[in-house]
Amino acid sequence: MIPSDVKATLSFSDGSPSMDLPIYKGSVGPNVIDIRKLYGQTGKFTYDPGFLSTASCNSTITYIDGDKGELLYRGYPIEQLAQNCDFMEVCYLLLKGELPNPQEKKDFDRLVSVHTMVNEQMQFFLRGFRRDAHPMAVMTGLVGALSAFYHDSTDVHNPEHRAIAAIRLIAKMPTLVAMSYKYGIGQPYIYPKNSLSYSANFMRMMFATPCEDYEPNEVLVRAMDRIFILHADHEQNASTSTVRMCGSSGTNPFAAIAAGVACLWGPAHGGANEACLNMLGDIQKQGGVEKIGEFIKQVKDKNSSVKLMGFGHRVYKNYDPRAKLMRETCHEVLGAVGLGNDPLFKLAMALEKIALEDEYFVARKLYPNVDFYSGIVQRAIGIPVPLFTAIFALARTVGWIAQLDEMIGDPEYKIGRPRQLFVGSEPRHVKPLAQRG
């Protein structure tokens, strides 16, 4: 880390000695004040629930400028990556720091494709689930179970194990997501076909049956690939921080990624795409565009718990650049499947317009995030709504793995162990049961 010439000084009004704190410079973005010695020197902790002002690590992977609405993977703008690269190139970039040249890309594509099958025993494990289980419940179990199948890549401190686990996870996630879908609808699993691209292979595993093959439509495959690119990493979000925290204990990579899947499921995070499409469906059922006003009133009512799903973000205080790209993809996909007049897309655009002009949203800098349009795209591709978050997990796996690898390779990393402000009972004595009133 590069020290700044400027130092911060923390002083106390009770006469305790003040303390100088070093500042480190970011290559872009805010600098950080190093408080690691604060407790040792002052006996005090900092208090920051939700990490509103706390950097939990240093990272070279992803940068977000929330005010500008800018997202960079390894320095490259997301718009350029979405335009010029496929998901495999983006995976290579996130894992290795540079975009691949043609030979490196060919080798990487091949490396991932030879790991797409899962141990045959996985299907018996899958059979233990109810058929109507939520795909994220199934995925949390399946990803965690990988550590019971691939013992030769479970030592997180061994760089070779980490590298094999990374490729296995990236390669097997589409197979697992498709298997959990097929299991839910009672169809036979479709084995991966390694001659296809990553995204086309996933779509074939989802939509082919042993009776009829699936002919991937180029526009839809490209849209799926774009969904993967846009969701691949997003710096220290809740699920990534969960993966880092879980991995910091030295647990195996599969277990750490399973923790990320579990965290992603929540509606404030990856579950928002499903919640957003359900919200649009509900408004549509109640009368569509005409009911937007009433819905927005509920969202603004402090006594209601209704939120405009797919809106707002901890970091973006401007339009999420991924939402812009997703809206563009929406137009292409709906055109390709003959849904140019899709009522849900029209409703989403009307809702966006009204919200962006409303003082409540303007004052709070609430803009559409990636989940606002991704559900409409996925639905048009034929992905069932409950599977949306599992697809987010599939795409985010590379980000989780890259971040875990970065943390383990960082000589400054320590087990994650936050402190607390204790406000409970002072020490007291236990009374025998008979004396408790």
Per CB under 6 A, residues contacting ligand CMC are: 237, 268-270, 272, 299, 307-314, 364, 366, 369-371
Give the C-alpha separation, 106 to 87, whole Å.
13
CB of 425 to ligand CMC, least distance (A): 30
> For residues 317 and 302, what is the distance between their CA atoms, to the nearest angstrom?
21
Least distance (Å) from ligand CMC to the CB of residue 99? 25
Q: How far is the CB of 122 from ligand CMC (least distance, A)?
A: 27
- Chain centroid offset of residue 299 CA: 25
Element (H, E) at 97: none
Q: Do the bridges between strand 32-33 and strand 62-65 make them parallel or antiparallel, or are there none, so unpaired?
A: unpaired
What is the SS3 assignment for 40?
helix
Judge whether 256 and 421 are in contact, CB under 8 Å: no
Shortest spacing between CB 277 and ligand CMC, in angstroms? 12
Please tell me the distance from the alpha carbon of residue 177 to that of residue 187, in angstroms, as a whole number. 14
C-alpha gyration radius of the chain: 24
Smallest distance from ligand CMC to CB 173, Å: 17
User: Between residues 184 and 310, which has the closer beta carbon with respect to ligand CMC?
Assistant: 310
Query: Of 189 and 400, which CB lies nearer to ligand CMC in the complex structure?
Result: 400
Residue 169's closest CA among 130, 86, 111? 111
Three-class SS of residue 8? strand
Which residue lies nearest ligand CMC, judged by its C-beta?
A: 312
Task: Considering the complex, state which of residue 22 and residue 386 has its C-beta at the smaller distance from ligand CMC.
Answer: 386
**Both tokens assigned to 420:** 């607390």
Q: Which of 86, 320, 371, 405 is catalytic?
A: 371
Q: Which is nearer to ligand CMC, 89 or 320 (CB)?
A: 320
Q: Which is nearer to ligand CMC, 193 or 307 (CB)?
A: 307
Beta bridge partners of 33: 23
C-beta of 39 vs 51, nearer to ligand CMC: 51
d(CA 257, CA 165): 10
CA pair distance 240, 233, nearest whole angstrom? 9
Query: Cα angle at 398 between 275 and 165, to 5 degrees?
Result: 125
Residue 46 near residue 52, CB atoms below 8 Å: no
Which of the residues 231, 313, 320, 405 is marked catalytic? 313
| Helix, strand, coil abundance in the chain, percent, nearest 5 | 55, 5, 40
Neighbouring-strand partners of residue 63: 72
Q: Is 269 a catalytic residue?
A: no
Work out how close the CB of 419 gets to ligand CMC at its nearest, in angstroms, rounded to a whole number: 21
Catalytic residues: 313, 371
